[in-house]
Amino acid sequence: MLKIENLHARVEGKDILKGLTLTVNSGEVHAIMGPNGAGKSTLGNVLSGRDGYEVTAGSVTFQGRDLLALEPEERAAAGVFLAFQYPVEIPGVNNTYFLRAALNAQRKQRGEAELDSMQFLKLVREKLKIMQISDELLHRAVNEGFSGGEKKRNEIFQMAVLEPKLAILDETDSGLDIDALKQVAQGVNALRSPDRAFLVITHYQRLLDYIEPDFVHVLADGRIVESGDKTLALKLEEHGYAWVAERDPALA
């Protein structure tokens, strides 16, 4: 589904990704862990096509297409979804209206018919059942005055409605109490499917108690420096990221 090869990217003239290689197959959940400043959010931003991130070398193939050649909205329509580390508030824009506009923009890009408000409401009701989110949140402005946990749950709800092929969750666990964390994990788990893949970016092992990854990777200094199964996350929790650096002289 996703093949990242030797990816180099810079932000504001500074090299952040320095030869990142990663392959993700349909149905898989990959956790990306790593110290602060390693480039985890940069990876998510580069994949979703956010402004200001310059790719200087390497390639990204998504479902056989050159992802880097696509505009951000084309990537979204192709099924790439990024849940932000810091979800944005859009005051004055109704959450339901926003979601329907986002979904219909993607459907239009794909040449599919737009959903009318009845069809959209039906979809929203189905997804509300999956994601334990209060429908009161749907009638408020996007993320405005939402608590940290509500914002993160709203991101997962957006994901449920947009039904992406590749979902990238950037520290969706940060700042969540244990109940909100479990709710977010439950939503993600409900959306796991053979034709969908997840990149779960997290700083801490805790989330992976609830979202069980197929693979765990350590991102340090702009590269994947170690990969393994879920036990790698436990080792990191025990030994800290210094342990990875000690094993890799290039990082010392």
Interface residues with ligand ADP (CB under 6 A)? Answer: 11-12, 14, 16, 34, 36-42, 52
Distance CA(16)–CA(38), nearest Å, equals 8
Task: Name the residue nearer to ligand ADP (CB basis): 20 or 124.
Answer: 20
Under DSSP, is residue 182 helix (H, G, I), strand (E, B) or coil?
helix
Rounded to a whole number of angstroms, the minimum distance from the CB of residue 123 to Mg ion is: 31
Task: Name the residue nearer to ligand ADP (CB basis): 39 or 187.
Answer: 39
Q: Which two tokens stand for residue 96?
A: 């339901």
Long-range contacts: 115-121, Cβ < 8 Å, 24+? Answer: 120/96
Rounded to a whole number of angstroms, the minimum distance from the CB of residue 108 to Mg ion is: 31
CA-wise closest residue to 186 among 211, 208, 152: 211
- The answer to whether the beta carbons of residues 215 and 227 sit under 8 Å apart is yes
**Which of these ranges, 14-22, 39-47, 138-146, 191-199, lies near Mg ion under the rule CB under 5 A?**
39-47
Rounded to a whole number of angstroms, the minimum distance from the CB of residue 33 to ligand ADP is: 10
Per CB under 5 A, does 41 bind Mg ion?
yes
- The order of strands in the sheet holding 2-11 is 14-24, 2-11, 53-62, 65-66
**Which of these ranges, 19-27, 35-43, 74-82, 210-218, lies near Mg ion under the rule CB under 5 A?**
35-43
Which residue reads 């479902």 in tokens?
63
Q: Which two tokens stand for residue 131?
A: 């994601």
Rounded to a whole number of angstroms, the minimum distance from the CB of residue 88 to Mg ion is: 15
Q: Which two tokens stand for residue 165?
A: 């092929």
Task: Name the residue nearer to Mg ion (CB basis): 8 or 40.
Answer: 40
Q: In the set 36, 64, 92, 136, which binds Mg ion (CB under 5 A)? A: 36
**Which of these ranges, 36-44, 133-141, 184-192, 237-245, lies near Mg ion under the rule CB under 5 A?**
36-44
Per CB under 5 A, does 45 bind Mg ion?
no
Q: Which two tokens stand for residue 29?
A: 């959940």
Task: Please give the residue ranges that form the binding site for Mg ion (CB under 5 A).
Answer: 36, 40-41
